[in-house]
Structure 1
Amino acid sequence: MSGHNLQRRRLTLALGGGLASGLLLPLASAAASCAAGSDWAAPLRRDLDAMAAQLTRTLKPWSVPARVFTPEEHGLAAGTGVLATPAIQRAVDACAMAGGGTVRLSQGDYLSGTIVLRSGVMLEVAAGARLLASTNLQDYPEHRAQRPTVQDSNMGMNQSLIFAEGCERIGINGKGLIDGRGTKDNFPGEETIGATPGRPFIIRIIDCKQVVVRDIHLKDSPCWMQNYLNCEDLLIDGIRVENQANHNNDGLDIDSCRRVIVRNSFINAQDDAMCFKGAGQRTAENILIENCQFYSTCNALKFGTDSQGDFRNVLVRNVVLGGPASDMRAINRRKADGGISWEIVDGGTLERVLVHDARIVRAESPLFLRLGDRGRVRPEQKRPGPGVLRYIVYDRISGDDNGMRGSFFTGVSNAQIEHVLLRDVDLTMAAATAPAAVAVDIPEAPAEYPDPHMFSTVMPAYGLWARHIKHLTLQRVRFRVVGKDARPEVLADACRQ
């Protein structure tokens, strides 16, 4: 950091109860007198470590029968530009009828529209082979989910390159490439928080069990890269995702799934990189994320926005996340809007989440918690009230080259965030180059779409601003700023009994 004036202060404090009064908390105190403590954090860590150990022991790839089927054996004609979809589908169907096995793409390029996976089928794109998505929308017939969810009613997500519903023992693997060719020229459309007509996903897996996605390289979807909804025993291991070609280019979306491992993977996405959702309105629980890199120009690691279902027991460890580095592809900016963003705005409960040993780089807001009241559900459903966001731990979090906005946690007056612990946090931010927002002037905006940029490019504190939160504990926390910044390091609600 030579050549910079680096402000350093170390925080040890706790905050219990309270409403938004704009009181600047004392720094370097042993603890506030009304501290609620963090006695719940140690049992939570033990429980989540045990959960992760059990997942690691028991969640293994399913045993694929030795049978191999190829499109060439099922009528694929030779020649550049020949649509391989019918031959690939015949190979998939034959594989399933035989009791399962591998459908192997191994001889160069395969141009295809929608492929429907069946139970017992592992789709392999071998080293040197490419599965190329057709750029003709007519090659993507709609597949409407049999069980309606918020994603179908509000997002219109009915087209994809690879689709499965109600299957067991399915997967995608191989050292080859799946290229969605999803550029704005091939698949034009507007950036949206609603429907994405004319822009298929690459992978959509619904209501399936024993799903394995390993080693594959995924590139340039017209929209989200992959969506796993209401699945059980989902294993994602060693994948590489580069989704920097279009709007709404999420990297990996896991919705209402149970017993999940994501490990040893790299994602660089224009939109959210690693994103959890609750639109399936089923409980999502027992999830392990480890040894991954997540980069995004939106949110690198996120829960939301759809949060209609409950979400609990999540352990994230040994990850690097933030904005894309200069040697990575990026069609927007280089900084992420948010590093770790947990958002509950559609009812539902998010609880018992621990992130430890994480490095956050190039994020405008490294940490973001939002409890709001948008209340988006299916049209025939009653609007829910505010949800619950509680028992959240950030432990051994470091990082630098972050932006000037600052981290912030905010609920609303009738729904406060509860029980949050920051421990051994050391984050470096850029100094403000514009006036900061005044805390008392920041609206609650309960129904606004939640994103870290929702209020201001410069928040009231360079480290952490907190409002409508009960039992916030900071232990050995340090926020640094490169240069001079008139803002306080931490600004939070008053402490009340």
Structure 2
Amino acid sequence: MNILDSYFSGLTMRILLVLVAVTSVQLRAQTYDVRHSGAIGDGTTDNTLFIQKAIDSCAVTGGKVYIPKGVYLSGTLVLKSNVTLHVSAGATLLGQPDTKFYPHQNSGIPFYGEDWAKQALIFCKGQKNVAIEGQGMIDGQGAAFVKTTLKKPDRYKDRPYLLWFAGCENVSVTGVRLQNSAFWMQHYLGCKYLRIDGIKIWNHSNKNNDMMDIDGCSYVTVSNIIGDSDDDGITIKSTSPLVSEHITITNCVLSSHCSAIKFGTESVGGFRNIAISNCVIKPSAQLKTIYGKPGGIGGLAMEIVDGGMMENITVNNLVIDGAEVPLFVRLGNRARKHIESANTPGLGKIRNISISDVVATGAGITGCSFTGISRAPIENISLHNISVEFAGGGVGSDIQRVVDELEDAYPEGTMFGKLPAFGFYVRHARDIKMSGITLRYKTAEQRPAFFVSDTHDFSILDTHVKPNPGPQAMIKVEKSSNGLIAAKEYHFPAANFIEKDKLSKNIIGKKE
């Protein structure tokens, strides 16, 4: 080969390398405008196939599927690996109002609810590096799926989630507004490395309108959420043997007619290593309720009733306004199988829980309960720097009322009715530490501030309790042992500071 041939050969090779590099960059990150696939944002054209075509093309190269300003009507869309669905400002992805547009899906993970929860507007199974982002809106038109006459479980069927991710990894949902789901707003089942940040949620169009369900997921961050839902708010579940673990929830403003932050009810795999902080819980802007109460049934509800373990949970810096029961912890034994062929769950456990720096106002007459069952007490629970203002209005006969065990009942903060303490009722517990507790009420109270039953190795220190008008004690203790009780502000007759039965041993009380 002569010098000239060698030069042109090298030049050709360099050109080919440049073309390959340019092509590689183009393949590596592309944006697919759904209009180029045929989508029309007029609110009436069915765009399911057009948007899916854009998703499928994007999955080959990776990149973004872009939904521009307009209203894009669609049925089920299947999201795929390396695809970001970008819903731009002024854009609405609008769910079709008919079940025929939502084919049944299989999550690949057996879970409680799989017999009826089979549909979604956006479905993603077993994919990696997927995202939904933007300043636009996704609306499920959930009111079109209301079933007023059907009983469980038939009334659950043919109501699609808005978002359903199952068995996925590296999932991100940011910025968008989600509203009007026919069922739960978003269900994340068995996912790893999940980020939900800066989204707004409105869900008041149907029954079971949960705000968000984190179910058997791990390595999860939920932050900067502003949400309002008829049913439960940010909900951590375990509808399968998968554990919900390594989760943080922070900087959220939440409203729910039921429980704003909730663990459960399904708890088969359990909950572990979870931190919740800096959240405001306020009454819903929607006064009409489907379930619950306008101000909410619960602020924070922590429940294990289908086996599983709840452990290593911290909750701090909560403001709770209007919830009937601001704080509720319940270990029960409903023992519901997650699938028919599964073994019946054994007794669950609740242990190593810290709740601190909570200010709650507008609470109802019920009171807060922290309860296990006789065969399975809750353990190592710490409450510190808690201030609650209750409605008050309890009478003397409430103190003598027998609180049913309700071991296998659905857990809810109001499940026991009006409690024999206006503040905290603690039963079947061990190693309970309460300090810096301030309790007030609006209407005169005849119930004690605390009622402790079958509780051992406990302390209630540095209490600030509004004085009661009658002769009742500040705390009543029964069937308990090894308790230290101290009041910083003491407004009770000395003889009535502590009332304890003959079965209680080593209960010490003092004024600090």
* TM-score (norm. length: structure 2): 0.80
2:147 to 182, 188, 193: 188
- Residue 200 (structure 1) aligned with residue 200 (structure 2): no
Superposed counterparts of 1:13-412, under 5 Å? 66-77=29-40, 79-98=42-61, 100-153=62-115, 156-183=116-143, 185-189=144-148, 194=153, 196-324=156-284, 327-328=285-286, 330-332=288-290, 333-377=293-337, 378-412=339-373
Contact 2:399-2:447 at 8 Å conserved across structures = no
Structure 1: which amino acid aligns with 2:433? Answer: T
Give the distance between the partners of 1:478 and 1:335, measured in 2 at CA.
22
Shift of 1:283: 2.1
Name 2:383's counterpart in structure 1. Answer: 422
Of the three residues 437, 450, 457, the one matched with 1:490 is 450
Q: 1:330 to 1:290 in 2, by over 3 A?
A: farther
- 2:487 is matched with none
1:92-135 Cα shifts (integer Å, max 9, x gaps):
0000012x111111130000110000001111110000011110
The whole-number CA distance in structure 2 between the counterparts of 1:189 and 1:160 is: 21
Q: Relative to 1, partners in 2 of residues 1:137 and 1:78: Cα closer, same or farther, differing over 3 Å?
A: same
Gap change, CA 1:471 and 1:190, over 3 Å in 2: farther
Where does residue 494 of structure 2 map in the other structure?
none
Shift of 1:365: 0.6
**Who is 1:442 aligned against?**
403
Query: In 1, distance between residues paired with 2:395 and 2:196?
Result: 42
Looking at structure 1, the residues matched to 397 and 64 of structure 2 have their Cα atoms a distance apart, in angstroms, of: 57
TM-aligned CA distance change 1:97 to 1:160, over 3 Å: same
SS in 2 for 1:414: coil
| CA displacement at 1:145 relative to structure 2 | 1.9
Aligned to 1:451: 412
Q: Cα 1:220–1:77, aligned 2, differ >3 Å: closer, same or farther?
A: closer
Aligned CA distance change for structure 1 residues 151 and 436 (closer, same or farther; 3 Å) = farther
- TM superposition shift of 1:194: 4.9
- Does structure 2 conserve the Cα–Cα contact (< 8 Å) formed by 1:85 and 1:113? yes
- Identity among equivalent pairs (%): 34
* Residues 393, 420 of structure 1: 8 Å contact kept: yes
- Output the TM-score relative to the length of structure 1: 0.82
Does the CA contact (< 8 Å) of 1:135 and 1:187 recur in 2?
no
- 1:41 is matched with none
The answer to whether the 8 Å contact 1:191/1:247 transfers is no
Contact 1:191 1:248 in 2 (8 A): no
CA contact (8 A) 2:217 2:244 kept: yes
Q: Distance in 1 between matches of 2:152 and 2:432?
A: 31
Letter in 2 for 1:83: D
Contact kept, 8 Å, 2:320 with 2:358, in 1: the verdict is yes
Q: CA deviation at 1:432?
A: 2.6
- Contact 2:420-2:447 within 8 A present in 1 as well: yes
1:104·1:124 contact (CA, 8 Å) conserved in 2?
yes
Counterpart CA distance in 1 for 2:305 and 2:149 is 24
Contact 1:132-1:178 within 8 A present in 2 as well: yes
Q: Deviations over 1:368-417 (max 9, x none)?
A: 11101111121101102210011111111112112111110111111111
- Bigger shift: 350-359 or 330-339? 330-339
User: How far apart are 1:439 and its partner, in Å?
Assistant: 6.1
* Deviating more after overlay: 284-293 vs 189-198: 189-198
Q: How far is 1:323 from its partner? A: 3.0
Paired residues in the alignment total 427
How far apart are residue 330 of structure 1 and its match?
Answer: 4.7
Aligned pair in 2 of structure 1 residues 419, 193: CA closer, same or farther (>3 Å)?
A: farther
Q: Deviations over 1:133-182 (max 9, x none)?
A: 110110000002223222314xx210110000000001111101111111
Which SS does the other structure have where 1:306 is aligned?
strand
Q: What is aligned with 2:423?
A: 463
Could you tell me which runs of 5 or more consecutive residues in structure 2 were left unpaired when the two chains were aligned.
1-26, 454-477, 483-512
- Mind listing any 5+ residue stretches in structure 1 that lack a counterpart? 1-63
Q: Deviations over 1:38-77 (max 9, x none)?
A: xxxxxxxxxxxxxxxxxxxxxxxxxx96411122111225
Q: By how many angstroms is 1:433 displaced?
A: 6.6
Deviations 1:276-333 (A, max 9, x none): 0111311221111110012101011000010000311111111111432xx4565353
Structure 1 residues 225 and 121: alpha-carbon distance in aligned structure 2, compared to 1, 3 A threshold: same
Is the 2:196–2:222 Cα contact (8 Å) retained in structure 1? yes
CA distance in 2, matches of 1:349, 1:482: 37
Letter of the 1:94 counterpart:
S
Of structures 1 and 2, the one with the larger relative CO (CA 8 A, separation 6+) is 1
Deviation of 1:91 after TM superposition, in Å, equals 0.5
